């Protein structure tokens, strides 16, 4: 397969820093020959985004390149995403990339911007996928490997509870000793990788509250149940009460993202909807949040007379980096890019379904710097998100060296 002539290859003269000379020689050679391919793959995937569990074209794209290198990718049972082992032996290390896009309309103006209305790779999954394809093909070129390396191209990271559970259900972790991943970080400069022992992301749940009222005239709110007032009570009251019922050091918070009720100014509506995300950085608190939230909503709405139905969708626990695995990732970064590339990073309040893997086997996730070093930080999940493509070959180096370090 090739993307030559597609218009997606990098323009002539764009420098690609491949940190030449850090070896091994087969990795240096592969990157020297295929640095432009990494950019082309990322741009193709970026231009053709697919949402969770719809990543058929992306899965076929990945499988085609792996098969062309003599590898044997195995499609996941649901039809999107795949796993592929490289090397032989009883010891196995897994490397994971997520492949789905977000329901965001792109506003970057890039020549390779999304060709699909309302869909965009606004979280760097296009880069994650290109990096892991590169790592797979580079490893396939190695004369020998000290064990097996499993490539996991996972669907549906952006929906709760996440496609990682599908991989686990399909025995995608069978025989795996450790697992590693990188995630783009637009706050870190290219050439840096953020590491942290312990929780590096937060738990994330979806809350959906549907309210009901007999409705009526706004001139006579005492004859009905004022639904909009009740919505406001929950919007302000639930975050406030929750902050008094859990340890404030846990980073537990609710942020509402959608509220809908009524149309006319003089009518008390009969139905209302409130949606938001509940996050916490503490795994133990996360386990107890669902009954606590229901208790608080019940108490807040009881005086209003408004009925409600609460849907609490359990999302993902925090990603908790295991200490030994984080040290192996640190070794991989240092071997790939030098010791100065290792950067400390804080716990994020964002959610990541890589956490489910770490509930099964030890592992760690690092944050790959994708900021160019000047200009604005284009944050994740925004329509303007973009990344410095010089990070792609660096990501390949880190993944390869980490796998080799973990295999000893």
How do residues 187-242 score in pLDDT, each as one tens digit?
Answer: 999 999 999 999 999 999 999 999 999 999 999 999 999 999 999 999 999 999 99
User: Is it true that the peptide bond before 104 is cis, omega within 30 degrees of 0?
Assistant: no
pLDDT digits (tens, 9 = 90+) for 124-151: 999 999 999 999 999 999 999 999 999 9
The rounded mean pLDDT for the chain is 94
Average pLDDT of the residues in 146-173 = 97
With residue 169 as reference, give the H or E element that holds it: helix 164-169
Residue 52: pLDDT above 70? yes
Q: Which domains does the chain have, with CATH numbers?
A: 25-201+319-406 (3.40.630.10), 203-316 (3.30.70.360)
- The helix (H) or strand (E) run that includes residue 185 is strand 178-189
Over residues 141-169, the mean pLDDT reads 96
pLDDT band at 23 (very low <50, low <70, confident <90, very high): confident
Is the pLDDT assigned to residue 11 strictly greater than 60?
no
pTM above 0.85, yes or no: yes
Q: 285-321 pLDDT, tens per residue?
A: 999 999 999 999 999 999 999 999 999 999 999 999 9
Number of other residues whose CB lies within 10 A of the CB of residue 174: 10
By the 8 A CB rule, do 85 and 137 touch? no
253 strand-pairing partners: 279
Euclidean distance between CA atoms 336 and 349, whole angstroms:
29
């Amino acid at each position: 397969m090739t993307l030559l002539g597609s218009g997606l290859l990098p323009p002539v003269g764009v420098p690609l820093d491949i940190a030449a000379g850090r070896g091994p020689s087969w990795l240096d050679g592969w990157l020297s020959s295929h640095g432009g391919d990494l950019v082309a793959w990322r741009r193709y995937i970026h231009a053709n985004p697919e949402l969770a569990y719809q990543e058929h074209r992306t899965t076929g794209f990945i499988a085609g390149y792996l098969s062309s290198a003599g590898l044997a990718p195995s499609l996941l049972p649901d039809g999107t995403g795949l796993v592929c082992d490289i090397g032989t032996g009883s010891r196995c290390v897994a490397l994971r990339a997520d492949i789905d896009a977000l329901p965001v309309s792109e506003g970057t103006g890039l020549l390779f911007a999304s060709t699909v209305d309302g869909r965009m790779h606004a979280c760097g999954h296009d880069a994650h996928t290109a990096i892991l394809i590169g790592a797979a093909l580079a490893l396939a070129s190695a004369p020998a490997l000290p064990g097996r390396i499993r490539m996991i191209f996972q669907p549906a990271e952006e929906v709760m509870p996440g496609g990682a559970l599908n991989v686990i259900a399909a025995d995608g972790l069978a025989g795996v000793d450790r697992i590693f991943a990188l995630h783009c970080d637009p706050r870190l400069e290219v050439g840096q990788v953020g590491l942290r022992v312990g929780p590096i992301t937060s738990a994330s749940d979806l809350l959906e509250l549907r309210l009901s009222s007999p409705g009526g005239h706004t001139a006579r709110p005492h004859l009905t149940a004022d639904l909009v007032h009740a919505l406001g009570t929950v919007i302000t009251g639930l975050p406030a009460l929750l902050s008094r019922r859990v340890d404030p050091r846990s980073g537990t918070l609710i942020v509402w993202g959608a509220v809908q009720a009524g149309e006319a100014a003089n009518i008390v509506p009969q139905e209302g909807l409130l949606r938001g995300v509940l996050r916490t950085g503490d795994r133990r608190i996360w386990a107890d949040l669902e009954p606590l939230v229901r208790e608080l909503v019940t108490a807040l709405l009881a005086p209003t007379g408004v009925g409600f139905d609460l849907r609490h969708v359990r999302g993902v626990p925090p990603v908790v980096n295991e200490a030994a695995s984080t040290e192996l990732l640190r070794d991989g970064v240092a071997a790939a890019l030098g010791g100065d590339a290792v950067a400390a990073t804080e716990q994020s309040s964002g959610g990541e379904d890589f956490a489910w893997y770490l509930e099964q086997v030890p592992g760690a996730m690092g944050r790959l710097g994708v900021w160019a070093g000047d200009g604005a930080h284009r944050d994740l999940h925004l329509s303007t998100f973009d990344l410095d493509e010089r990070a792609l070959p660096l990501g390949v180096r880190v993944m390869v060296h980490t796998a080799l370090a973990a295999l000893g």
